[in-house]
Amino acid sequence: AACLVTFLCLTSLLIVSGKWSEFGHSSRAILARDNWLWLTGIWLTLKLIHESAHAIACRRLGAAVPETGVIFILLAPLAYVDVTSSLRFRSKWQRIQIAAAGMYTEITLASLALILWSFTTAELPRHLLHSVVIMASFTTIIFNANPLMRFDGYYILSDLLEIPNLYSRGNEAVKRLARRVL
């Protein structure tokens, strides 16, 4: 599966490099006012798939998934899945695999969407595929892979560094530095 996804990603990057100006030109419409409804629907669908990937990885590795659902933060619906049972795994690599499953799935979908985009000529499907590429690649990297936010990247970094409560320790370090400097 990892080889297949790597192949898909490399293929999609090769495709976009040959059609970069066309892809970039399509990006101008991504934030258009009439595109917000499409973006919202795509984003919600991707987040449901993202969270499902966490749950599937967690169950596949033998941990329980006691709760899934949707919560509203600042009036925005966000899907979530409770994979805290994975914290009992002794292997940090199993925990990292669960934390990375959502991003892995979204990058795979972005690669597939980009390949389909390159072969599609109809305007609406092409526009929707372009939106999927942007939402499943750039936004998942900016938000989910970002170790400064308590999403997937944070938990991956915490496990890689073997520092539990990285957020608390980071806050304390910033406060000490601020006291020293100020």
Q: How confident is the model at residue 55, as a pLDDT? A: 96
- Residue 12's pLDDT is what? 93
Q: What is the pLDDT of residue 73?
A: 77
Supply the pLDDT for residue 94: 96
- The encoded tokens of residue 120 equal 């599609």
The residues of the chain scoring below 70 in pLDDT are none
- Concatenating the DSSP letter of every residue in 101-141 gives HHHHHHHHHHHHHHHHHHH--SHHHHHHHHHHHIIIIIHII
**How far is Cα 26 from Cα 24, in angstroms, rounded to an integer?**
5
Provide the whole-model pTM.
Answer: 0.86
Which pLDDT does position 148 carry in this prediction?
82
Identify whether the C-beta of residue 48 lies closer than 8 Å to the C-beta of residue 77: no
Q: Please report the pLDDT score of residue 164 as a whole number.
A: 83
93 contacts: CB under 8 Å, gap ≥ 6: none
The whole-number pLDDT of residue 158 equals 92
pLDDT of residue 118: 93
pLDDT at position 72 is 84
Which pLDDT does position 153 carry in this prediction?
92
pLDDT at 27: 79
